Chains A and B, each alone.
Chain A
């Protein structure tokens, strides 16, 4: 009952993640050599039969990657990540399917166990499923396609004369390849991901969902997501990720570029549950037009190390950003997460509400950056961050940064840090809950403001993840 650290607790290395922790054999897969050379980059590009500009971009990015140094003054240590031993391209032997029956049995089983086809039938407008480096399934409801919505892989869009210029127009413009070393890496070897185009005035009544599964050991996943929401359009996009546990390091360095035009709305929801050998160095960025709204819902549970700071640029007057996030760091996890908002136009507003939970020696760092530009008259931003520490050996830090260059703007920040009180646990136990149930209930309650923003099946998944983690905590 007491909250003094219990050595035994911290020794529970892992919880039953059997739902996520299954490995399918890699036989017959096309796996490129480890390490990074122009030959590998050319091979990836040739396999995809890309336009020349894309190959040039890849090769330039590769140069940038080798040139740029690793940031040595930032966040958790990533020196254990040895790029010479990460395979940047692993492809299952299959063509992309539009029907689950055409997907190879082992891969289909994987996604079935993750509940993807079921969710597609019940509550989604379209689904993309990526397995290692390639999308193996992509499909969208016909009525959505009839509205002119495009939801495909970027590779397919590049092969379509109608969409190739659009991809060319946007790809790599929001996240420059020299943004940081891993952005350069991403552009050199990117593969898979989704291209979404929602035409002017079109509202999707159901979300689109892409699910990313990294099955191969010692491999990287570098998917690129490019979403264009034209003026007055409305989209909810969901991204899910998971991987089984390996002893070798895996790397995820995806990029997400979101273009939200005037009067449009985009909600981007993520539940990330990478295994705890994953370096999740992901970059996400949105630019938002006048009177438009960007909503982020972000749940981070997995990975060994995460650098994740979705960025929103409020470029148009009266544009808005809402960011709701939760990060759960357990044993062996060092998660550096947060967000960045740039308010660059008059009457823009940003509201950031994040929660973090640390246990069993897990480390959480919440990093936020609010930048108010000179033109952002009457801009308003509030940042609120609360942390829950489940024991004395875990750690939680908050690093808020603010750069306000307009005297009429107002920016507020609040941070709280707390523990589960003995009184609360006793109260719940006096109603029949076991200690583990009581603590899980408190943690779920703490996470509730985030889970209620998620689509139901994801909220359920998040509660289950918390339950799994908490069961690991109390033996």
Chain B
């Protein structure tokens, strides 16, 4: 595939004392929307963090190629600058760092996003309006004292500002009420349209997917990718759960945990 954006081949990774991911193969092309599903503890978030370059996980074999470059050994900041974004399940609070100046800093460090203070302010206001975020959020400290839903909106705000080529959304839908979920879905849609961005959506429920056109669905069980299909796979999982995939992995002799 000439337009493959992310290509993961034979990837195994884990913490020092525990292997988590086993021989993962995954390819995402520019502009595609992929969904990664699986039961709790399957290793979905770990895969997201390994793609982002979280040093608490070590890659024992395999490669990650992004936009034609082998990034397996890149630190997280290099991957971010190359165009990968990970929306955190639980965004970290950073006391004393005002949200607005943080946003300005992370945009100004990217040559393609450098802009005047005034244009930047306009852009941030637009996105805030879109995400139904109060302007007063911007003067507060990064993620400090925000509700779970508000933190997810701040992640969306960063996503829309940074316009990455690939966004990994780690349980972005968890803990959101119906209204917040709808706003976040709009944000994701805007990202797809405005930036032709590719998505890897990690979730274990299907509500957020109802509003999105999904290209491929992957199923992870105990650190193995055990199933792949189109959007219809989501409906199947929705009605029958992960039983069939867990069984298939067991029959395969599975890779030990």
Interface residues of A (CB under 8 A from B): 1-2, 421-424, 426-435, 437-438, 441-442, 444-449
**Contacts of A441 on B, CB cut-off 8 Å?**
94, 97, 102, 105
Q: Are A426 and B106 within 8 A (Cβ)?
A: no
Select from chain A the residue with minimum beta-carbon distance to B90.
Answer: A423
Residues of B close to A2: CB separation below 8 A: 55
Docked-complex contact A445 and B96, CB < 8 angstroms: yes
| Cβ-defined contact, B97 with A444, below 8 A | yes
B109 touches A446 (CB 8 A): no
The answer to whether B77 touches A445 (Cβ under 8 A) is no
Query: Contact between B96 and A429 (Cβ–Cβ < 8 Å)?
Result: no
Smallest CB–CB gap between B52 and chain A, Å?
5
Interface of B toward A, CB cutoff 8 Å: 52-56, 75-77, 79-81, 85-86, 88, 91-92, 94-97, 102, 105-106, 109-110, 141-142, 158, 162
The contact of A424 among B76, B86, B94, B106, by CB within 8 Å, is B94
B92 near A434: Cβ-Cβ < 8 Å:
no
Taking the closest CB of chain B, its distance from the CB of A465, in whole angstroms, is: 16
Can you sample 10 A-B contacts with CB below 8 Å? A424-B94, A428-B94, A429-B76, A430-B52, A430-B88, A432-B109, A433-B105, A433-B106, A445-B94, A445-B96
Asked if residues A435 and B88 are in contact (CB atoms below 8 Å), the reply is: no
Q: Which B residues lie within 8 Å of A428 (CB)?
A: 94
Asked if B96 and A449 sit within 8 Å, CB to CB, the answer is: yes
The CA of A441 and the CA of B109, in the complex, are separated in Å by: 14
CB distance from B63 to the nearest CB of A (A): 20
Q: In the bound complex, do residue B76 and residue A444 qualify as a contact, i.e. CB atoms below 8 Å apart?
A: no
Tell me, in angstroms, the Cα distance from A421 to B81 when the chains sit together. 22
Closest to B56 in A: A422
**Cβ-defined partner of A432 (8 Å) among B88, B95, B96, B106:** B106
Task: Give the CA-CA distance A2 to B77 in the complex, in Å.
Answer: 15
Q: How far is the CA of A238 from the CA of B199 in the complex (A)?
A: 53
Complex contact B75–A429 (CB within 8 A):
yes
Please classify the interface of chain A as helix (H, G, I), strand (E, B), loop, or mixed, using the class held by over half of its residues. Answer: helix
Provide the bound-state CA to CA distance between A423 and B86, in Å.
13
Whether the Cβ atoms of A431 and B52 lie closer than 8 Å is no
Residues of A within 8 A of B142 (CB): 445
Taking a contact as CB atoms under 8 Å apart, the answer to whether B92 and A423 are in contact is yes
Rounded to whole Å, the gap between the CB of B212 and the closest CB of chain A is 23
Q: What CA separation (Å) do A450 and B158 show in the bound complex?
A: 28
Q: How far apart are B167's CB and chain A's nearest CB, in angstroms?
A: 11
- Give A1's nearest chain B residue, CB to CB: B55
> CB distance A432 to B81 under 8 Å?
yes
B81 and A430 contact, CB distance less than 8 A: no
Do the beta carbons of A429 and B80 come within 8 Å of each other? Answer: yes
Residue from A422, A433, A444 in contact with B96 in the complex, judged by beta carbons closer than 8 Å? A444
- The answer on a CB contact under 8 Å between A435 and B77 is yes
CA A444 – CA B110 in complex, angstroms?
A: 21
The 9 A-B pairs with the shortest beta carbon distances in the complex, nearest first, are A445-B96, A448-B96, A429-B76, A427-B92, A445-B97, A432-B80, A429-B77, A1-B55, A431-B106
Chain A residue numbers with a CB within 8 Å of B88 are: 427, 430
Q: Is the CB of B141 within 8 A of A445?
A: yes
Instruction: Write out the residue numbers on chain B whose beta carbons fall within 8 Å of the beta carbon of A448.
Output: 95-97
A435 B96 Cβ-Cβ under 8 A: no
List residues of chain B with CB within 8 A of the CB of A442: 94, 97
> How far is A218 from B256 in the complex, measured between Cα atoms in Å?
70
Measured between alpha carbons, how far is A59 from B106 in the docked complex, in Å?
61
State A201–B79 Cα separation when bound (angstroms): 60
The docked-state distance in angstroms from the alpha carbon of A430 to that of B80 is 6
Complex-state Cα separation, A442 to B96, whole angstroms: 8
Question: Which residue of the partner chain A has the closest CB to B143?
Answer: A427
Q: Are A433 and B77 in contact (CB under 8 A)?
A: yes
CB–CB B56/A432 < 8 A:
no
Establish whether residues B91 and A427, one from each chain, have CB atoms under 8 Å apart when the complex forms: yes
Measured between beta carbons, the chain A residues less than 8 angstroms from B96 are: 444-449
Evaluate contact between A446 and B80: CB separation under 8 angstroms.
no
Contacts of A435 in B (CB 8 A): 75, 77
Nearest opposing residue in chain A for B95, CB measure:
A445
